[in-house]
Amino acid sequence: MPYLESLKVFVRVVELGSITSGGRDLRLTPAVASNRVKELEQRLGVRLLNRTTRNLSPTEVGKVFYKHALKVIDELDQAEAVVAGFSKIPRGTIRVASPLGVGRRIIAPLIPSFTEAYPDVNIRMRLSDRNVDLFEDGLDVAFVLGQLKDSNLKLRKIANCTRVLVAAPEYIERFGMPEVPGDLLHNHNCLLLRFPRSPEYFWTLQTDAGPLKIETSGRFDADDGDVLTQWALEGVGIANRPHFDVARHLAMGDLVEILPTTPPLPASFGCIFPHRKFQDPKIRLFVDYMATESRKHLQVTAYGSIEKRITTRR
């Protein structure tokens, strides 16, 4: 077992580019992770990593060994999945990634009930609004919110999430209520979600004539959607947010919906995972559970919004 653990540490160190990151991913201290790699090198009698104060990279023999080590770990994972299928008791670790808002408000609250039902399963969750690479980041499942692209990964679509343009009442008092999409281009500060390769350099609104792209601009941008919501609450601009992210603020009147007759296009919410992973009972159970329960959450949120609007109109 120690040898296998050392293999896993070495693989993650190579993939993440540092002893610290590789160890952290496996819940090990940098010292323990470093010792695991050194033990592996001593056993093999070769240097696997080139280490400097700033960089870490595999040696030529390290690159060859990494490819074979990856195959060993992959085969073991598949073998364990097969055995788990026979035993009917899912066990092991699931590494999950999710956008910040989705993770905080939908996925994370569901984790305890899932692990209570399956106590031999551990969850390692990573939250980020940046795009992730399942293979490079060593992930089993990634939840995504946006236009889901075709790939060599298996896609499970969960729901369409409505989006809304929102601003604080104080902002509307100061700058006026936009009446048509074109008003967003004049005298309004749009709060933008931006990071390298970000898709949101424009907003696409639904109109009677079809989708309309608005090349938005503004004085504030961030790579965290919750920051945009907070800025909107503070009255500094207009944000384009998933409805479930701001439903509570809309219901309380802290935010108001902008251009309700020409809302943003809905975002597809789903999860992606490698095809072979779905043969693993714990992955299949996790994906099915999250799809069912998160869909319920989104339906409740939408219903609450409709009920609030009807009450307000009365």
Q: What is the pLDDT of residues 174-208, one digit of tens each?
A: 999 999 999 998 889 999 987 655 555 789 999 98
What separation in angstroms does the CA of 171 have from each of 50, 250, 263?
55, 14, 19
pLDDT value of position 308: 43
Q: Write the burial class of residue 127 (CB in 10 Å: 0-12 exposed, 13-18 middle, 19+ buried).
A: middle
What integer is the mean pLDDT of 248-261?
96
Model confidence at 258, pLDDT cuts 50, 70, 90, reads very high
Q: Report the chain's mean pLDDT, rounded to a whole number.
A: 84
Domains and CATH numbers, the chain: 2-86 (1.10.10.10), 93-157+269-302 (3.40.190.10), 163-265 (3.40.190.290)
Q: What residues have CB less than 8 Å from 70, skipping those under 6 apart? A: 11
pLDDT value of position 76: 78
pLDDT value of position 303: 47
Q: What is the pLDDT of residues 120-145, one digit of tens each?
A: 898 989 888 777 778 777 788 999 88
pTM strictly above 0.75: no
